[in-house]
Structure 1
Amino acid sequence: MSDQAYYVPLSAGTDGVERFASTPLTASTWADTMQHGAPPSALLVRALERCAQRPDTRLTRVVVEILGPVPIDDIEVRSWVERPGKRIELVVAELWATGPDGAARAVARGTGWRMQTVDTTAVVHTADPMLAPVSAGHELPMEGPFWGSGFVTSLDWRWLADIGCEGPGQVWVRPNPVLVEGESLTPIQRLFSVVDVSNGVGAKIRPDEWTFLNTDLTVHLFRVPDGEWIGLSSETSYGPDGVGMCAGVVYDETGAVGRISQTVQVRAR
């Protein structure tokens, strides 16, 4: 089992179907029997990028739905073009795993709009301000069961604001492992390998007193990120009935590249 990849390929398959072994590096902060949301999200994005791949298109918006716990086990990835088009197309990917009853079921789904690309450098504009550089960040002691999971320990962290601070939590983060053994990360796969941590970065409640699992992840990208580090500036709001929402901005080292939102289920421990 690889200690440098989140997944090990088992079979390439045909008709948009692949199989992978999940490594312990995917382990969640909430339970060591299920995967953190980030590696499955990135694996779905890999499938969305590769499905009926066209060099003149790219993903512009991805929605990931977590349909249930993703086990740290062998998983199957299925992908297809839901709505074909010359300029805009909708691509879908699903992760399938064997449930406790022995039956296969979908545990996560990703949908992505892919748009045909053209040259618009003459009108480039970024609405969100720059994030402080990676060099301004610092490491924090990340101890205890919440921060000691396989996935969280697989990342490099440079914090710009302390956890639980007033206002948005801000951090630079990069994955050390590759997504799939034997492959290099694409820029968008790299982003999705870390962006699911946003609701933790922006949390205002203590994980030893509360759980706050996200059920989904939506990312809009107006620009493809560049470089190894992904910056996040996010904050989670909490309602009175067990529901929260995380919203934030995603960066590379030259500026903002998009925005993220997550729905969060909040429960007292």
Structure 2
Amino acid sequence: MSADQAYFQLADTARTGDGVVESFVATEHTASPWGAEMQHGGPVAGLLTRALEHHGARAHARLSRITIDLLGAVPLGTLRVRVAVLRPGRRIELLGAELEADVDGTWRPVARAQAWRLATQDTSGVVNDPFPHPVMPEHDVAGTDILPAAWQVAGFVPTLRWRAEEGLRANRGEPTTVWLHLTLPLVAGEPTSPLAAALTIADVANGVGARLDPSTHTFLNTEMTVHLYRPPSGEWFGLEAETAIGPDGVGLSQALMHDTLGPIGRISQSLLVEPRR
């Protein structure tokens, strides 16, 4: 697979007094359906999660909550990521990551992430799983068969492999369930971890649970928070997504996320809802 058959290419790794700074080039596969010159939030979330996951990784501890804040449109092109420990601790640790873009020769922040890393231990004897387990459809469904026409464009969304019993339109009050799989690596030349894959896919939730036609309205998410009570596994992830829309242009997307073993956590996204003009 060539380097451009990935969402990002690793361009450089440099050590500074604050730690490691990695530079990347975003490929065309990161593009958003809202605009060909801006990135979809999924690859951005995946890249920041990869950085957080790698930073100070150790046995018997894992990331449990990850929040991504999009500071504006993330352009295609050259990016760099830096990570810091914001609150050190043996049992509880808070990490922060910042994504910068090279805009006309000047680096500026375009996204930030924070994650809590918690110590792990054996609690298999007291597991409580109150959520239903949807069954993954056996058949494959091409994204263009179930996606609204406005999203059937080049970029990130068509790189996902989809499985669904129905299209994305669900009855009000009933979540839409879709299973998704990344067909490209997050970073060229390296395997994508289940955690990074899950966070890359998680940002699709507001589209999966959309209750507005993207040809008449936009519903951009400004942030995403993912709580994971079980570590993700495998390559397929299911989203049971629904969207609430308020009376003043603000919405909320929520989804229960699954891997093939069962539920793993919840996704929430704040939405800016606007009619197209």
Q: TM-score, with normalisation over the residues of structure 2?
A: 0.93
- Structure 1 unaligned segments of length 5 or more: list them: none
Aligned with 1:109: secondary structure?
A: strand
Aligned position for 1:110: 113
Q: How does 1:104-143 map to 2 (within 5 A)?
A: 104-135=107-138, 138-139=141-142, 140-142=145-147
Letter of the structure 2 residue corresponding to residue 61 of structure 1: R
Aligned with 2:203: secondary structure?
A: helix
Is this contact kept in 2: 1:137–1:160, CA < 8 A? no
Letter of the structure 1 residue corresponding to residue 157 of structure 2: V
Letter of the structure 2 residue corresponding to residue 2 of structure 1: A
Aligned with 1:153: secondary structure?
A: helix
Write out per-residue CA displacement over residues 105-142 of structure 1, whole angstroms, 9 at most, x where no aligned residue: 11000100001111111111212100122316744254
CA RMSD of aligned residues (A): 1.5
Is this contact kept in 2: 1:164–1:205, CA < 8 A? no
Q: Which stretch shifts more, 220-229 or 32-41?
A: 220-229
Aligned position for 1:241: 248
Distance in 1 separating the partners of 2:71 and 2:148: 29
Q: TM-score, with normalisation over the residues of structure 1?
A: 0.96
Aligned with 1:134: secondary structure?
A: coil
Aligned with 1:113: secondary structure?
A: strand
Is this contact kept in 1: 2:63–2:115, CA < 8 A? yes
Change (3 A) 1:206 1:251: same
Distance in 2 separating the partners of 1:104 and 1:219: 28
Task: Choose which of 209, 214, 217 in structure 2 pairs with 1:210.
Answer: 217
In the TM superposition, residue 17 of structure 1 has moved relative to its aligned partner by: 0.7
Aligned position for 2:20: 16
In the TM superposition, residue 148 of structure 1 has moved relative to its aligned partner by: 1.5
In the TM superposition, residue 163 of structure 1 has moved relative to its aligned partner by: 1.5
Distance in 1 separating the partners of 2:275 and 2:148: 21
Distance in 2 separating the partners of 1:123 and 1:137: 36
Write out per-residue CA displacement over residues 61-114 of structure 1, whole angstroms, 9 at most, x where no aligned residue: 0000000111100000010100000001000001001236x4321100010000
Is this contact kept in 1: 2:150–2:214, CA < 8 A? no
In the TM superposition, residue 4 of structure 1 has moved relative to its aligned partner by: 2.2
Q: How does 1:93-242 map to 2 (within 5 A)?
A: 93-99=97-103, 102-135=105-138, 138-139=141-142, 140-142=145-147, 144-166=149-171, 167-242=174-249
Is this contact kept in 1: 2:175–2:241, CA < 8 A? yes
In the TM superposition, residue 55 of structure 1 has moved relative to its aligned partner by: 2.1
Change (3 A) 1:24 1:50: same
TM superposition outliers: structure 1 runs of 4+ over 4 Å: 136-139
In the TM superposition, residue 165 of structure 1 has moved relative to its aligned partner by: 1.1
Aligned position for 1:5: 6
Distance in 1 separating the partners of 2:138 and 2:40: 27
Is this contact kept in 2: 1:60–1:114, CA < 8 A? yes
Write out per-residue CA displacement over residues 132-190 of structure 1, whole angstroms, 9 at most, x where no aligned residue: 22316744254634222310111101123422211111100000000111110111011
Structure 1 residue 42 and structure 2 residue 46: aligned? yes
Aligned with 1:43: secondary structure?
A: helix
Percent of aligned positions with the same letter in both sequences?
Answer: 42
Is this contact kept in 1: 2:146–2:167, CA < 8 A? no
Distance in 2 separating the partners of 1:245 and 1:143: 20
Q: Which stretch shifts more, 19-28 or 91-100?
A: 91-100
Distance in 2 separating the partners of 1:38 and 1:244: 19
